[in-house]
Amino acid sequence: MLYFSKFKSISILLICLLGIIFAFPNLLSQNTLNVLPKIIPHKQINLGLDLRGGSHLLVEVQSSVRASERMDDLYNEIRIELRRNKILLSDISQSNNQLKITLSDDGFKGDLLDIIESLSQNVRGQLGTGQLADELDIMEQIDGSILVSMTEEAKSDLLRRSVDQSIEIIRRRIDELGTKEPTIQRQGDSRILIQVPGLDDPKRLKELLGTTAKMTFHLIDPFYDGGNVSRSSMQLKHANNDSTYVVERRSIIGGENLVDAQPGFDSQTNQPIVNFRFDGQGSRKFGKITTDNVGKLFAIVLDNEVISAPIINEPILGGSGMISGSFTVQEANDLAILLRAGALPAPLVILEERTVGPGLGADSIKSGQIASILGLALVLIYMFASYGRFGIYSNISLLINLSLIVAILSILQATLTLPGIAGIILTIGMAVDANVLIFERIREELKTEKSIIHAFDAGYSKAKITVLDANITTLIAAVILFAFGSGPVKGFAITLGIGIITTLFTAYFLARHLTSIIVLRNNNKNLKI
């Protein structure tokens, strides 16, 4: 086990060298890295919320709002289908996410049930069963009316999809802010944990997350005469003034057809605007609508507020347009971010809010640095005092081990937290333990009056099983912690798992290689360990 081919020797040296190179940027400031040549690695370990400071939010997804919207859509779809099939409707009302439908002629009740069944969607049943369930529960009342509501399976499925979509959209919005490694995790059935390290403006984050950003385009109701608003229309306020608009309830096009939105400035007024662009389907739809409604007003609605109500002066056939509305530069930029990221499926309610100042994070980093340096120094001194020159080789492998851990974390752009630092410190202990086991086994072999080469070879061979057993057992625990843990627990598991792999490399390749050089060169001399 003490003989290494040139290929193995060069490979070990190359891995160690790469570890040092990729770990080195973490010793430099960001400003220093920016002026270095691109050929030099620039990636650094991202610091977590407890080390860097930042914003912590716990939000809840209000899926009941989306359920209400689904019943609104169903209300309109049923009316359209009944009109298309020439079925007279006596009354249709909506309350508590339920529809109550009464026909003028009960003879068409079967046709009504068929229409409702055709509009019903299949949803996932209980998690893990893979079975589909009905979306709607249809009940016939004593008075002859039909009561339609969502099934419990449909509500559960809607909640799951709303949370999944919300997590993805939240991630897009936060990424647009330029932050690194946010933590966005599901908590329970309807809650989402959000941690954004290094965010300088937590208020802006709340504003971005508190906006659903559901954008729709509506024509102004041409038949509204100042009286009561019809069921097919709705009255909305302007976001920036006291104006009100009565618009058609049914949107002519939705924000789901948007593919891009960018802040800009109006060439005539020099005021901040938002330029938007539709996809192919949206371009065709928008072009047709603007062609058919030249000279009419249409409203751009964001979260049930009119942000702009321009006149269609000419057909817009290119699939692009602009939104103006007395925006500030930041408001235009934030609106562009919201539109690019997409609309949240349901509103978010902030349940918990915490802000960790950078000063607290700096104190944590300083304390962690002191503890790590002190612990490492004591370990290095102990190894040298106990094993002499072989302790020096062990110390070299230990330092390279730390460099490899930092390098891998930097390459993966992992987030380092205080539990992660604890995982690194535990790795140092396990690396020392591996070397101690090996050297003590070698001492036992030397007592049997074996040759130096045989003693070292036997020491590494017989200690291998013990070291592998201890490290693999710990690695299994780290994998389990990563799979079932969350947040800081995962950070601890990641650093511990990486540390175990690098420990095995440095103990059985690097340290053994350094030891073999001195042993083979001093075969006939009395080496002590």
- pLDDT tens-place string over residues 199-229: 766 677 787 777 777 788 888 887 777 777 7
The CA-to-CA distance between both ends of the chain, in Å, stands at 18
**In terms of domains, do 382 and 511 share one?**
yes
Asked if residue 515 has pLDDT above 70, the reply is: yes
**Which residues, in sequence order, are bridge partners of residue 299?**
218
> What contacts 348, CB < 8 A, 6 or more positions away?
59, 60, 61, 62, 166, 192, 209, 210, 212
Find the CATH number of the domain harbouring 511.
1.20.1640.10
3-state helix, strand, coil in the chain (%, to 5): 55, 20, 25
Q: In this structure, are residues 254 and 296 in contact, taking their beta carbons and an 8 Å threshold?
A: no
Q: Looking at 291, 326, 354, which one is the last position of a domain?
A: 354
- Of the candidates 195, 268, 219, 252, the residue with the CA atom closest to the CA atom of residue 417: 195
The answer to whether residue 396 is domain-embedded is yes
Question: Comparing 324 with 118, which gets the higher pLDDT?
Answer: 118
Per-residue pLDDT, 498: 92
Structural domain contains residue 103: yes
Amino acid letter for position 518: I
pLDDT digits (tens, 9 = 90+) for 137-196: 888 888 888 888 888 888 888 888 888 888 888 887 787 766 656 778 888 888 998 888
Q: Is there a domain that residue 188 lies in? A: no
| 130 Cβ contact list (under 8 Å, min separation 6) | none
Residues 337 and 428 placed together within one structural domain of the fold? no
Reported confidence tier of residue 125, pLDDT bands at 50, 70, 90: low
The answer to whether residue 170 is domain-embedded is no
15 confidence band (pLDDT: 50, 70, 90): very high
| Boundary residue ending a domain (317, 337, 354) | 354
Among 37-51, 125-139, 348-362, name the one with the lowest average pLDDT.
125-139
**Domain identity same for 244 and 376:** no
Query: pLDDT higher for 92 or 199?
Result: 92
- pLDDT band at residue 128, thresholds of 50, 70 and 90? very low
Q: Is residue 192 assigned to a domain?
A: no
In sequence order, what are the beta bridge partners of 247? Answer: 220, 234
**335 and 219 within one domain:** yes
Whether 250 maps to a domain, the answer reads yes
**How far is residue 389's CA from residue 376's CA, in Å, rounded to a whole number?**
18
Both 400 and 498 in one domain: the answer is yes
Q: Is 433 exposed, middle or buried (0-12, 13-18, 19+ CB in 10 A)?
A: middle
Q: Is the pTM of this model over 0.85?
A: no
Verify that 74 and 107 share a domain, yes or no: yes
Higher pLDDT, 504 or 484: 504
Instruction: Find tokens 């603007």 and name the residue.
Output: 290
Shared domain for 221 and 335, answered yes or no, is yes
CA atoms within 13 A on the CB side of 260: 11
Q: Residue 122 sits in which domain range?
A: 63-158
Of 332, 354, 376, the residue at which a domain comes to its end is: 354
How many independent structural domains does the chain possess?
A: 3
Residue type, 347: P
Joined tokens for residue 288: 């047709």
* Residue position matching structure tokens 């930029």: 333
- Say if residue 345 is in the same domain as residue 254: yes
Same domain, 445 and 469: yes
Q: Which has the higher per-residue pLDDT, 140 or 528?
A: 140
Give the Cα separation of 135 and 226 in Å (integer).
39
On whether residue 178 sits in a domain, the answer given is no
In this predicted structure, the answer to whether residue 526 has a pLDDT above a threshold of 80 is no
**Residues 400, 336 share a domain:** no
Residue 280 and residue 303 in one domain? yes
Instruction: Indicate if 346 and 403 belong to the same structural domain.
Output: no
